[in-house]
Every structure is written in structure tokens, then in C-alpha cells.
Amino acid sequence: MRCDVLAVGTELLLGQIVDSNSAWMGEQLAAHGIDSLVQVKVGDNVGRITAMLRRMIAESDAVIVCGGLGPTHDDLTREAIAAVMGVELVVDEGVADAIRELFASRGRRMPENNLRQALVPTGAAVIAQTRGTAPGLICPVSVDGVDKVVFAVPGVPHEMFDMFERGILPELKRRSGDASVISSRTLLTWGESESGLNERLDDVIAELELAGSPTLAFLASGWNGLKVRLTAKAATLDDCNSLLDVWDARVRSELGHLVFGSDGESMESVVLDLLRSKGWSLGLAESVTGGLVGARITGVPGSSEVFRGSIVSYASEVKRSVLGVSDGPVVTESAAIEMARGARRVLGSDVALALTGVAGPAEQDGMPPGTLCVALVWPDGELSRTLRLPGLREQMRQFSVISSLDLLRRTIG
């Protein structure tokens, strides 16, 4: 089964909005064993949308059109799909009533152009809207006597996610006629490059190619780490999970401490769980990251059970007056240790993590941009490290977050 993706919107071509929807759909389709070989962006022009859609549906089994379903004059996806189907647009009264009721429930006047969203190509089915006003569409198309399908979903991400799960994925599975189950598991890693991971897993990859299932793919996720995704296909979900268990263990045995979590976990959630299991609280002293570590930590539900707070000691005099850092250079391991000790004392935490460094663009204390001095103080000891991190200012700061949390994980784990 092949399903390609057409993203509609002039703003995508102008770079005003990044097309993350196509990337998400490509990932979801691959995870469910559906090929997606082409992804295209096209502007708000009905002729160009129609021409591109005709070309794409001729080469695939299905096309998902994302965007262009709103109420304004430049929302032209419905017209283009109707042209490809060779049918007229008609008002779906059920959709129209739902739109009226939504505005009424919010006590707002409904502009009449909202009823454009109730226009449906003759013969199409509606994917009911649960989070907005524009419904999705399932549109059967015949190409040279072959039955195919065009889906249309809004460009608003949370609306698109919902419709993909409820309407598109079940229909694609039904049309594929494949009764098998596909399931994925993602291992999260930090501390090795993508090429380095590939090299470490050469033997595993060779074995998987012979086995056929699961498959293995690498997904770079920036300062969230590198992901190793295993995708298994089998008769039942239990069979999938059995396969994934075997190869999950095999990958972990090769990568060791580089694997810090899986699936919905993050470095910060793993660190919090580790501290919680020991009954330890955490305090932070941040300079180069300016509070980014604390922000990541507090983004995890339940972090208040562990996290005491963060002292953002950006200025040198704050490091000295609040944390007790000695006079002299502040981008050193000794300064980082003193920051961690001070944070532990001031915040009353069991564990303290401190970061000081140079994000750039200029040197500081004789240290080049990309220098991170990180220190950890915990009930059983103290530790400091100097790391050289890549990237420009913001990338270096974000890499500092996950690198420092990874040091904490490996040290007290």
C-alpha cells in the first residue's frame, strides 16, 4: 500500500510555516507499514493543486491532502478534489449544523463563509471534526478503472493528528487488506553520532536483514537524542511484542549505557524517575543554559516531587554572592563544583547539578565557544567534567541540557 502526502498552503512555500505535518504523517505511515514515496508542497492555487493531485494519485494508491479546508477564499482543497473526482460540491447539512452549533455554544456570531467548510464532493465521506470546524474527507477516485482514495485533513496539527488516527489509518488498513499487525519500539540514545551508532549495530543490522522483521531505522532528534526505531510486523500484537523484546535486548546489549530510555520517555523524565527511586531531591545552578535545564525538568508531570528549584546565576557576581563561588574565572570545573555545592546548600537538595560555559560567539575566561563545565554533587561524592559541544549559541545551550542530565544519569544510576 502506497500513500503519498500533498501539503497545501502558500505559507509553506514562503517558509512562513514549517511543514511538520508531512514529516509526522510520513513517520506514522512508515510505522504502520505503508509506503510513502513522495511528499509535495503546493501553494493556494486551485489549478496547481488539481494538477499535482492528479499526478500523485495516478502513481499511488492513496494521497493525503493536508490544509486548504478552512472557510476563506484561498482554501481551495475541496474544489481541487471535486475536479479530480469529476463531481460537484454539495452542502452536507449535518456538517453545517455542527458548525452552527459550535459557534452558538461559544456565544459567538458565525460568519456565513464558515459554511464553505460544509461543502463536500459528491460521493465523499466525512471525517467528523471533534476539535474545530472543518471536517476531513474520504474521497474515492477511479484512475483507469482502479479504485483509489484521496483523504483531506485540516492543516491545524492537533486536528490532523486526531483525524489521521480516527479516519485515515483505519481506511488505509481496510483497503490494504493486510490483516497483520505492525508495532514499533523506539530506543533513545545519547553520547554517540548516528554513524557511530550504525557502526556499533552493524552486526545487528545484518542479522535483521536476514530475519526480515523487525526493521531498524535511525531518527535524529537534535537535542532530544538519537532514536533507534524497531518496527515489527506479525500476525498478532503479542507476536510483534515478542519480536521487539528480543531485538530490543539485542540492541541494548550492543549500545549499553548509550540507551537512556524508550518510546514516550525523555532524558529529564528518566533522571526524575531515577532520583525518585532513590528518594533524592534535585537542585540546579545554571549559568550558560539560563534556566533551560529547569524548564525541561518542570515540563515533566510530577517533577515537584523531586525538583527543588534552579538558581540562574548568569552574572559572575551572582555566582559569588549567592552560590559562594571564589574569585577568578567562572568557566572552570572548580567554579562548577562550587556552584553545585552552593545550589545544594541554598536549595536544600540531596543532589545538585551545575552548568557554566561559553555559548559564544566570543571566548570567555580563555575558553572557546562550545565549552561546558558541568559538576555534580550528591550524597556519595562530587564530580566535574569539561565537554566540548558543537553548534552555534542556541544549539550548544540545548546540547548542554541533555549532556548534563546524561552525566547525572550515568553517575548515580
Confidence (pLDDT) at 327: 96
Element containing residue 409 per DSSP (H, E)? helix 393-412
233 forms beta bridges with 182
Confidence (pLDDT) at 179: 65
7 forms beta bridges with 41, 66
One DSSP character per residue, 193-256 reads -HHHHHHHTHHHHHHHHHH--SEEEEEE-GGG-EEEEEEEEESSHHHHHHHHHHHHHHHHHHHG
Neighbours of 364 (CB within 10 A): 18
Confidence (pLDDT) at 133: 84
218 forms beta bridges with 228
pTM of the model: 0.74
d(CA 386, CA 396): 14
Provide mean pLDDT across the span 270-281. 98
Model confidence over 200-245: pLDDT tens digits? 999 999 999 999 889 999 988 888 899 999 989 888 889 999 999 9
Confidence (pLDDT) at 389: 94
Domains and their CATH numbers in the chain = 3-176 (3.40.980.10), 181-262 (3.30.70.2860), 267-412 (3.90.950.20)
pLDDT at residue 382 greater than cutoff 70 = yes
Output the nine-digit C-alpha cell for 140. 474515492
Provide mean pLDDT across the span 180-195. 90
% of the chain residues with pLDDT over 90: 82
pLDDT at residue 180 greater than cutoff 80 = no
pLDDT-derived band at 351, boundaries 50, 70, 90: very high
**The pairing of beta strand 282-286 with beta strand 307-312:** parallel
- How distant, in Å, are the alpha carbons of 84, 87, 278, 342 from that of 99? 26, 24, 53, 58
pLDDT-derived band at 358, boundaries 50, 70, 90: very high
**The pairing of beta strand 282-286 with beta strand 351-358:** parallel
d(CA 309, CA 152): 46
Question: Phi/psi at 78 (nearest 5 deg)?
Answer: -60, -45
Handedness of CA 285, 290, 296, 301 (dihedral sign): positive
- How distant, in Å, are the alpha carbons of 51, 52, 68, 116, 141 from that of 84? 9, 10, 16, 19, 8
pLDDT at residue 265 greater than cutoff 80 = yes
- Choice among 109-118, 146-155, 271-280, 303-312 with the minimum mean pLDDT: 109-118
Beta carbons of 299 and 320 less than 8 angstroms apart = no
- How distant, in Å, are the alpha carbons of 87, 231, 241, 244, 245 from that of 237? 41, 12, 6, 10, 12
Using a 10 angstrom Cβ sphere, with 0-12 exposed, 13-18 middle and 19 or more buried, the burial of residue 100 is middle
Model confidence over 77-132: pLDDT tens digits? 999 999 999 999 999 999 998 899 888 888 888 888 888 999 999 999 999 988 88
pLDDT at residue 247 greater than cutoff 70 = yes
One DSSP character per residue, 62-114 reads EEEEES--SSSTT--HHHHHHHHHT--EEE-HHHHHHHHHHHHHTT----GGG
For 35-51, what is the HEC assignment? ECCCEEEECCCHHHHHH
One DSSP character per residue, 257-314 reads GGEEEETT--HHHHHHHHHHHHT--EEEEESTTTTHHHHHHHTSTTGGGTEEEEEE--
Beta carbons of 330 and 316 less than 8 angstroms apart = yes
pLDDT-derived band at 32, boundaries 50, 70, 90: confident
Beta carbons of 375 and 353 less than 8 angstroms apart = yes
pLDDT at residue 296 greater than cutoff 80 = yes
E-strand stretches of 122-214: 125-127, 136-143, 146-153, 181-189
pLDDT at residue 33 greater than cutoff 80 = no
Q: List the 226-234 sheet strands across, edge first.
A: 215-220, 226-234, 181-189, 259-262
d(CA 10, CA 155): 12
pLDDT-derived band at 15, boundaries 50, 70, 90: very high
Beta carbons of 89 and 47 less than 8 angstroms apart = no
If you count them, how many residues does the chain have? 413
Confidence (pLDDT) at 130: 85
CA-closest candidate to residue 375, choices 329, 344, 413:
344
CA-closest candidate to residue 330, choices 357, 292, 312:
357
Mean pLDDT of the chain: 94
